[in-house]
Amino acid sequence: MWWVEPGHLEVKNNQLSVGGHLATDLAGRHGTPLYVYNGDKILKNFRLVRDALARHADNFCIHYAVKANAHVQVLKLLGQEGAHADCVSPIECRLALKAGIGKERILFTGTSVSNRDLAELVDLGVRINIDSLSQLRRLATFSRSPEISIRWNPGEGSGAGLHSHTITAGKYIKFGIPEAKVLDAFREASELGMKVVGLHQHIGSGWLGDDVRVFLGSVRRTLEVAREAERILGRPFRFIDFGGGPGIRYREEQSPFPIEEYARGLVEAVRTAGFSCTLAIEPGRYFVAESGVLLLEINTVEEKNVPVIGVDGGFNTLVRPAFYGAHHEMVLCNRVRGPCERTFMVAGNLCESSDVFNENKKELRPLPEPREGDILAILCAGAYGYEMGSAYNGRPLPAQVLLLGGKDYRITERGNFEAIVGGQALTTK
């Protein structure tokens, strides 16, 4: 099975093992739905990226994209390894601070940023990445003290990503200041007396191998803008941030992301252009996605119009299949290998016809014959899983468990009625 990895996902006596723990044992101890993250796998992937860059560059930093998985324990793990934080909201900044990542290692990159957010960010003392001229001007009305960088949108043909929803550069994209206005943004920031210390790009996420070529093309354009911007500012940048993007294998036919080619190409482009400032990147999915497994209990096995497997979670638990048409491998934890003589709709427990874990309602999934009470594992669920969850239909968020050093730690309790109703006013008097 293509997804087997020693020390992470293994098959023992035809049962799924995650980080040395039988998945069925984890489900029995902690209940389902359950997110399980292998912390050792997170660290392994972070070190792969760090070591690849270190083979080619001396001056670099890695910002972890907090939105991929914002649990404070995940942030602690990565922060202790030296990761900086890429945050998209003031609360993500606070989570990073709580995890011990210092404010000097946090870069806020938001969009449609309110004055309320800006005031909070100034109070927190984090670096702010400017997404629009409006944001720049509004920030200048009440503070010129924070260090800022400017995010630009490299424009048409520069975007790349696993799905159209994850492409973040191009004409019909809301992010960043467009090419025609980006140098004016540096001029205006300089005139306003702002402390501009960097330039930022981000063209999309979930890249596969061919996307590296598109990325390196955008890098060259960003370096051209950086050279002009430094002339306007009259001083060199402290850093240039090239955003995130490296993806993972969700399907067998996909190839692993070429991390060495990515790191070598990026560093060579920066060096050839003559820049000596810090090179920054912002991976998220690459570090955490493969570490995560979502465990669900099968409660229904029935022939309806098609064979249906009903489970105790829905797209409130993992929205990627319904939202992106995303593919995730599925495994019967207590019967991994077996004849796949039928295909099934894997259906969630929400009152929505789109609530299936297949890519869509008509793409049925081959699986060994399931039984009610079996545990189903959905793989590569460590990024944009729990983070995109909700309590829709009154279905609480699942518990979360971190595996580390041979032990399992429950790091988030399962949601309940009190968690859902806690913020609601129970009286109008």
- Cross-strand bridge partners of residue 37: 292, 402
Secondary structure (3-state) at 113: coil
Where is 92: in which H helix or E strand?
Answer: helix 90-98
Closest CA to 244 of 253, 255, 257: 257
Q: Output the CA–CA distances (angstroms, integers) from residue 264 to 211, 287, 291, in the order listed.
A: 15, 19, 25
Residue 251 CA from chain centroid, whole number:
18
Closest CA to 187 of 130, 152, 229: 229
**Token pair in block for residue 317:** 């638990």
List Cβ neighbours of 69 (8 Å cut-off, separation of 6 or more).
37, 284, 288, 292, 382, 383, 385, 386, 387
Please tell me whether the peptide bond between 307 and the residue prior to it is cis, using omega within 30 degrees of 0.
no
Residue 277 among the catalytic residues: no
Which ranges of 125-256 would DSSP assign to H, the alpha helix?
Answer: 133-142, 179-191, 211-233
Q: Which of 87, 277, 351, 380 is catalytic?
A: 351
Q: What are phi and psi of 218, to 5 degrees?
A: -70, -35
**Token pair in block for residue 416:** 């309940």
Closest CA to 242 of 229, 228, 223: 223
Catalytic residues: 351
